[in-house]
Amino acid sequence: MIPYGRQDISQDDIDAVVETLRSDWLTQGPAVPNFERKIAAYCGAQYAVAVNSATSALHIACMALGLGRGDILWTSPNTFAASANCALYCNATVDFVDIDRRTYNMSVDALRNKLADAEREGRLPRIVVPVHFAGQSCEMREIKALADQYGFHIIEDASHAVGGRYLDKCVGDCRYSDITIFSFHPVKIITTAEGGIALTNNGELAGRISLLRSHGITRDPALMEESDGPWYYQQIELGYNYRMTDMQAALGLSQTARLDEFVLRRHAIAEHYDAMLRDLPITIPWQHPDAYSAYHLYPICIPAQISNINRRAVFDGFRAAGIGVNVHYIPVHMHPYYNRLGFKAGDFPQAEAYYRETISLPMYPTLTQSQQAHVIDVLKGLVA
């Protein structure tokens, strides 16, 4: 089976983890802060806080920005559920902004119109979470201008986009956001097995996120009400056990050395797909001129109105040929849990139309030329 995505673990990665296993530190040692500094320096952010998943990072990023009961968070419906669930973890309300059918990211026009309506109704969001779908940055300059106008915070869900760029700067530099989140799940650009990170240029936010990832406990005398000695610690917030381990961070440090190589290889694969598929009756991913995608995914669309075969038949044909294509994503508002919150089919028509047509083709650095050729040949046989 050719999967849609997979990790690339080298001998250097294995050696880095083994070295940590043989050290005195398996959980909270030097590898975690070293990894944080490495990612922050790569992206050009001042602070980075590593955690056990991007979901955890989203949750405590919302908490650090004060999201709570009576507040509203907006995100894209074209994402994994974690981008929306983080609001509910904070007892806040979630809503969605429809997507741009070219980029599959949050539509700036839809956001602008929804904000104007929300201002009239007194229901402006406290936080907006643009999702950099498939590795391509949202139009963050325009979203930041709207944030300045309407007074909301921005968390970039860049889970797909480590190694990507926007306006010639690294995604993650937080020029246009309060906080940026990356995921290091195995199918992402680099991996720590499981893990995530929150980047920010705000020292107070970084401190809050650091506190919340570790039970709300501090050993900093400046934050404690009293101290009995050098052994002393205090819980000053209700936090969580969201810490990344040294074993995970060691893997991440080793993987980061190949981050640019991974992204370049993904671009080469995408360019070959583009060249070989452009004459088929499908839609290939459009790239915004302001963005340099990390190409976590390569989603194609099978337009029902011009194709003699539907998406399900194409999906089944790929699977029968041993190609593990996938679909990203079922719009969040269409899940039963969100239906019970009042959302329904038809609420976000662009995201729903995209979902009905999309399939993610295999995209990962170790995809060979012969494997990619097989994917292309199978697709041509299914839709040509």
Among 80, 75, 163, smallest CA distance to 127 is for 75
Provide the percentage of residues in the chain whose pLDDT is more than 70: 99
Q: Which residues contact 362 (CB under 8 A, 6 or more apart)?
A: 2, 3, 4, 5, 298, 323, 324, 325, 371, 372, 375
Tens digits of per-residue pLDDT, 140-190? 999 999 999 999 999 999 999 999 999 999 999 999 999 999 999 999 999
> What's the domain range around 269?
259-383
Mean pLDDT of the chain: 96
Tens digits of per-residue pLDDT, 214-263? 999 999 888 888 888 888 999 999 999 999 999 999 999 999 999 999 99
Which residues on adjacent β-strands are paired with residue 127? Answer: 73, 153
Looking at the fold, whether 102 and 191 belong to one and the same domain comes out as yes
Looking at the fold, whether 206 and 283 belong to one and the same domain comes out as no
In degrees and rounded to multiples of 5, residue 57 shows phi and psi of: -60, -45
Q: Determine how many CB atoms are found less than 10 A away from the CB of residue 194.
A: 18
Q: How many domains does the chain have?
A: 2
Looking at the fold, whether 57 and 93 belong to one and the same domain comes out as yes
Looking at the fold, whether 140 and 279 belong to one and the same domain comes out as no
Alpha-carbon radius of gyration of the chain: 21
pLDDT of residue 307: 57
Tell me, yes or no, if the pTM score tops 0.95.
yes
Distance of CA 24 to the CA centre of its chain: 33
Looking at the fold, whether 80 and 30 belong to one and the same domain comes out as yes
CATH of the domain at 348: 3.90.1150.10
Looking at the fold, whether 246 and 265 belong to one and the same domain comes out as no
pLDDT of residue 144: 98
Last residue of one domain, picked from the residues 256, 275, 299: 256
- pLDDT of 306 strictly over 70: no
Q: List helix spans (H) across the chain.
A: 11-21, 31-43, 54-64, 82-89, 108-121, 140-150, 203-212, 246-256, 259-277, 311-320, 336-339, 349-357, 369-383
Distance of CA 60 to the CA centre of its chain: 15
Among 79, 296, 289, smallest CA distance to 186 is for 296
Q: How far apart are CA 83 and CA 94, in angstroms?
A: 10
Give me the mean pLDDT over the 265-270 stretch. 98
Q: Is 178 exposed, middle or buried (0-12, 13-18, 19+ CB in 10 A)?
A: buried
Last residue of one domain, picked from the residues 237, 256, 275: 256
Tens digits of per-residue pLDDT, 189-209? 999 999 999 999 999 999 999
Last residue of one domain, picked from the residues 256, 273, 305: 256
Q: Tokens 């969100």 label which residue? A: 338
Q: Which residues contact 56 (CB under 8 A, 6 or more apart)?
A: 196, 213, 240, 242
Looking at the fold, whether 159 and 286 belong to one and the same domain comes out as no
Q: What is the DSSP string of 285-316?
A: PP--TTEE---S-EEEE--TTT-SS-HHHHHH
Tens digits of per-residue pLDDT, 269-294? 999 999 999 999 999 999 999 999 99
Looking at the fold, whether 219 and 327 belong to one and the same domain comes out as no
Looking at the fold, whether 245 and 302 belong to one and the same domain comes out as no
Looking at the fold, whether 44 and 169 belong to one and the same domain comes out as yes
Looking at the fold, whether 242 and 288 belong to one and the same domain comes out as no
Tens digits of per-residue pLDDT, 86-132? 999 999 999 999 999 999 999 999 999 999 999 999 999 999 999 99
Q: Confirm if 72 and 93 have CB atoms less than 8 A apart.
A: yes
- CA 192-202-214 angle, to 5 degrees, is 50
Looking at the fold, whether 265 and 331 belong to one and the same domain comes out as yes
pLDDT of residue 359: 98
Tens digits of per-residue pLDDT, 27-83? 889 999 999 999 999 999 999 999 999 999 999 999 999 999 999 999 999 999 999
Q: Is 330 exposed, middle or buried (0-12, 13-18, 19+ CB in 10 A)?
A: middle
